[in-house]
Amino acid sequence: MDAQQWLEKGNYQTINDHKIFLVDSLGFDQSSNLHTKPNLCILHGFPTSSFDYWKVIDSLSEQYRVIIHDHLGFGFSDKPMNYSYSLIDQTDIALSLWQKLGINKTTILAHDYGTSLLTEILARDNQNYCPMTIEQIILCNGSMHIEMANLRLIQRLLRNKLLGKYIAKLSSKRTLKKNMGAIYVDQTQISEQEIESIWYMMNYNQGKKVLPIVSRYTFERKVLWHRWIGALQQTELPIEIIWSDQDPIAVSEMANVIHRETKNSRLYWLIDIGHFPMLEKPDLWSQKVLESVGL
């Protein structure tokens, strides 16, 4: 599947005056038990988009109504220049979108960048401010413990106030391919078409111009560390941790720490897989997701 085919698979909703692109399996699911399926809302990672799940959405949709949107500043969603791209605002957008789609009860799956939105949702849920019932959460390779993360050089340069805009301007499909390949174990699993599609969506709506602003989210993880890690520690919700053991960014020890500090979690390892398990080993990853929730 290429970028245009993914665009045709989804649609737009306007949230807080911004166009948000989403793929909702309600739009292409023809199964007879469609309206009895539980909801699965997915929060994607950085610097990619909902396209991360193109290989697994069909298998997940056999059991779930799956909803994946592009965060503001990502993929096919709007990318305003005059915007903070705060993770708090991104959480507001996600919750507003789900409410608009009629989601009253859901499992939430988050990867990478998306795990910070999830922890903000948990902080609100712990205080009874979440507008929907969360049945379960699934965490996948996200650097919530930012002090343990091994950020790539490109990430550190992009978030730099002085250098970021120049690094973004100089970035290319070649540098994307190099950096994506460095966080895969099996580099043969990322195709030229996949790189082309990811690069196209990163550039869509002049995305390179907002990339340095979006990249500063890692600082927010430090500022709000106690709120977000505290939310993980306090929640009573069941937590499924599905973690690739060879992730060079969200290192394996981070999963162990999260498992130890949470009240109701289970840890599942994906062996010899890198940072994007849903792209590198999609069948294994989706199987583990479905098994972890007993479907």
24: CATH: 3.40.50.1820
Percent of the chain predicted with pLDDT > 70: 97
Query: pLDDT digits over 206-232, tens only?
Result: 999 999 999 999 999 999 999 999 999
Q: Where are the alpha helices (DSSP H) in 103-223?
A: 114-126, 153-158, 164-170, 173-181, 192-203, 207-214, 217-223
Please, what is the average pLDDT of the chain? 94
Q: Which of 255, 257, 246, 250 is nearest to 281 (CA)?
A: 246
Percent of the chain predicted with pLDDT > 90: 85
pTM equals 0.95
CB-CB neighbours of 124 under 10 Å: 14
Q: What does the pLDDT average to over 140-150?
A: 95
Structural domain count, the chain: 1
Domain range for 151 is: 3-292
Region at 102 (left for phi over 0; alpha for psi -120 to 50; beta for the rest): left
Query: Can you tell me the distance from the alpha carbon of 118 to that of 141, in angstroms, rounded to the nearest whole number?
Result: 13
Residue 170 has pLDDT above 90, yes or no: no
